[in-house]
Amino acid sequence: MTTALDKPPAHAAPARTGDARTLVDAVFRAREAAIGGALVLLVLGTWIANPAFLDSQGVKDLLLNASILVLLAVGQSVVVVTRNIDLSVGSVVGLTAFTCGDFVSGSSHGPVVTMLLGIAVGALCGLVSGALVSLGKVPALVVTLGMLYVLQGVDYALAEGGQINAVNLPEAVLSLGSGSVLGIPYLPLIAALVLAATAYYLRTYRSGRELYAIGSSPEAARLAGIPIRRRVLAAYVFSGAVAGLAGALWLARFGTVVAGAATGWELTVVSAVVVGGVAITGGTGSVWGAALGALLLTTISGALVVLKVDPFWEQAITGALLILAITADRVVQVRTTNALRKRSRR
């Protein structure tokens, strides 16, 4: 005779799922820690080989160079956790940098107007991509690859063979790229602010956590009543807006902008995100890890220059890290699935 005592407690299944989720989170946190450790070793090793690497100017250059990539990695992460991708971010940076430069050249507009314009243009680009992916149900890879070339074409059409020169830009805009507060450049501070705000949102707000649910299992998210199309659309708009902000900062950082700026950056951004522990299959990872991945790739680039190593090795190392990260994600996924199956049998 079966009694109530013979039945497993109602909370057993959720507990097993929670344990599995905790295991996955622990694995990815360990990976973020490993990236941080590798970054520290790389910095120390380069410093030992060339002490100038960590002088005041060297640290400043490293932070400035990493800022834009960190911003792009944060925006890309929000899209990737939904099991999508945005390959147009490099083109968005180039288009917004030129658009903002053309708008403020010869004017008295300040950095706030420049950044707001960049965010608006980038958000519009993200809205188009997001609408095609979420509402049109066109594969993200196809949409964003097409947008990459469309935006490049628009950028070249606007430029008409010309360029934006630093001498024509307002001094206030240029000071955004070269100025600092308490010795810390403005660009890293802006990147850190966006990073912290995004991490807080994803961790604290329900809509942020729903992005992870969509990436983990779109079908389960649909059954749970999560507005998948709206969330994916919002993720693309956010990614575009952040890329637009990065374009405005690109203008402030370099001053001179030509059509096609940031061409090829999309693959570097994806590499930083995946290397940083955001699974390309969605549902796991954090923007902190993506930022670490971006900082690691930027530091590798700087270290190779300081050590006078052939720049070819930068692409080779980035590719190797990307393959290694995707392989690690697959191993974690398989082992987690096996662990879930064993626990369900028990």
State the Cα angle at 340 between 339 and 345, rounded to 5°.
100
Q: Across the chain, what does the average pLDDT equal?
A: 86
Long-range contacts of 175-181 (CB under 8 A, 24+ apart): 175/111, 176/111, 176/114, 176/249, 176/252, 177/64, 177/249, 177/251, 177/252, 177/253, 177/254, 177/255, 180/60
- Which class for 154: exposed (0-12), middle (13-18), buried (19 or more C-beta within 10 A)? middle
Beta strands in the chain (DSSP E): 163-164, 180-181, 184-185, 257-258
CATH topology of domain 34-333: ABC transporter involved in vitamin B12 uptake, BtuC (1.10.3470)
pLDDT tens readout for residues 74-92:
999 999 999 999 999 999 9
Q: Which residues, in sequence order, are CB contacts of 122 under 8 Å at separation 6+?
A: 92, 96, 240, 241, 242, 243, 244, 245, 246, 247
- Binned at pLDDT 50, 70 and 90, residue 337 comes out as low
Cα three-residue angle 152-156-162, rounded to 5 degrees: 145
pLDDT digits (tens, 9 = 90+) for 276-316: 889 888 888 899 999 999 999 998 888 888 888 777 777 78
The answer to whether the Cα torsion of 27, 28, 30, 34 is positive or negative is positive
The C-alpha atoms of residue 303 and residue 306 are separated, in whole angstroms, by 5
Return the structure tokens found at 144: 């964003």
Q: Above 50 in pLDDT, residue 189?
A: yes
214-272 pLDDT tens trace: 998 999 999 999 999 999 999 999 999 999 999 999 999 999 999 888 888 998 999 99
Query: To the nearest whole percent, how much of the chain has pLDDT over 70?
Result: 86
176-200: buried (b, 16+ CB within 10 Å) or exposed (e) per residue? bbeeeeeeebbbbebbbebbeebbe
* Range of lowest pLDDT (117-121, 189-193, 242-246, 302-306): 302-306
Tokens found for residue 310:
């052939």
For the chain, helix (H) and strand (E) counts, in that order, are 13, 4
Mean pLDDT across the stretch 145-153? 95
The burial of 205, by beta-carbon neighbours within 10 Å (0-12 exposed, 13-18 middle, 19 or more buried), is given as exposed
CB 50 within 8 A of CB 306: yes
Amino acid 155: pLDDT: 94
Query: Tokens 């692409």 label which residue?
Result: 315
Query: Cβ(285)–Cβ(81) under 8 Å?
Result: yes
The residues, ordered by sequence, that sit 6+ positions from 182 with a Cβ below 8 Å of its Cβ are none
Residue of 234, 253, 231 whose CA lies nearest to 242: 234
Longest dimension (CA), the chain: 89
Is the pLDDT at 329 greater than 70? The verdict is: no
Q: What are the domain boundaries of the chain?
A: 34-333
Ramachandran region, residue 181 (left: φ > 0; alpha: ψ -120 to 50; beta: rest): beta
Beta strand 184-185 with 180-181 is: antiparallel
C-alpha to C-alpha distances, 83 to 140, 141, 299, nearest whole angstrom: 9, 11, 28
